[in-house]
């Protein structure tokens, strides 16, 4: 981890903030990007001088490109790019609107697509690099009905990550694409969901943002293509599809 340059999007709170603080503790340098300036600067203040905050809207491609360019201008390279921007929704599928779908795709899929596409030329030039996409258990098993379009967006992100990996590894095997699937995390996710919803901090069978951050930090030090943030969750996915008479 020491001396790695790690860009983390959606880093003003929750998982992104926890990852930034842990990477800094382990000796890395973080570029933290998000829209909320005050919260972002507070996170930077907890990183012991090892964080560079950039206020940006990661759902806008030009803003993502600016984060890449500013990071390279300041540090000369980027080693890891963490796509962590995301937002939930509370609406059953029968009631979804065009606007609901557009918002879920923009925040959960397009922000990650922009990140992967904008950092890829730099990684190809260096012949190395790692993209970490933060997905969800709901991208594996759509077991929370009212998250509907969020479930679908995370399924899309999973497929997109695998497709990038297949494409890039043919010519640049040193570039890695990692998918991380947390379950319920005790953050403001539920509170901030489109159309409101239950508070994730009060739900059972949850993890802290710090627990998830530890998994992600370990992946930076020891990369793998795909990882759940809690033991036994892979078995839950297998059991779900077995119950449908399918392989996962």
- Determine the pLDDT at residue 247: 62
Rounded to two decimals, the pTM is 0.95
| CA–CA dist 81, 154 (Å, integer) | 18
- Which domains, from first to last, does the chain contain? 5-243 (3.40.50.720)
- Would you give the end-to-end CA distance of the chain in angstroms? 33
80: pLDDT strictly greater than 90: yes
Known catalytic membership, residue 150: yes
Residue of 150, 228, 240, 241 marked catalytic: 150
Contact between 139 and 94 (Cβ < 8 Å): no
Closest to 218 (Cα-Cα) out of 22, 10, 15: 22
3-class SS of residue 58: coil
Contact between 85 and 112 (Cβ < 8 Å): yes
Q: Convert the pLDDT of each residue in 114-129 to its tens digit.
A: 999 999 999 999 999 9
- Determine the pLDDT at residue 248: 56
Q: Convert the pLDDT of each residue in 128-147 to its tens digit.
A: 999 999 999 999 999 999 99
- Determine the pLDDT at residue 197: 87
Contact between 165 and 201 (Cβ < 8 Å): no
Mean pLDDT, range 1-10, rounded to an integer: 93
| CA–CA dist 116, 137 (Å, integer) | 21
């Amino acid at each position: 981890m020491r001396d790695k340059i790690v860009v983390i999007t959606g880093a003003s709170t929750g998982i992104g903030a926890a990852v930034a603080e842990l990477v800094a503790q382990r000796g890395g340098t973080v570029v933290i990007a998000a829209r909320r300036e005050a919260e972002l600067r507070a996170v930077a203040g907890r990183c012991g001088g090892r964080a560079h905050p950039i206020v940006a809207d990661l759902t806008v491609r030009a803003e993502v490109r600016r984060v890449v360019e500013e990071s390279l201008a300041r540090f000369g390279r980027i080693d890891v790019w963490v796509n962590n921007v995301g937002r939930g929704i509370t609406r059953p599928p029968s009631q979804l609107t065009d606007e609901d779908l557009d918002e879920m795709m923009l925040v959960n899929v397009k922000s990650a697509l922009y990140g992967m596409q904008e950092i890829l030329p730099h990684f190809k030039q260096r012949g190395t690099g790692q993209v970490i996409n933060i997905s969800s258990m709901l991208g594996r098993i759509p077991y929370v009905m009212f998250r509907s379009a969020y479930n679908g967006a995370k399924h899309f992100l999973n497929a997109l990550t695998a497709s990038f990996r297949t494409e890039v590894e043919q010519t640049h095997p040193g570039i890695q694409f990692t998918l991380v699937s947390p379950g319920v995390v005790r953050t403001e996710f539920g509170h901030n969901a489109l159309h409101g919803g239950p508070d994730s901090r009060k739900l059972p069978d949850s993890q802290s943002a710090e627990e998830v951050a530890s998994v992600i930090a370990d992946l930076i030090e020891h990369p793998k293509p795909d990882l759940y943030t809690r033991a036994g969750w892979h078995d839950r996915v297998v059991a779900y599809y077995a119950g449908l008479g399918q392989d996962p």
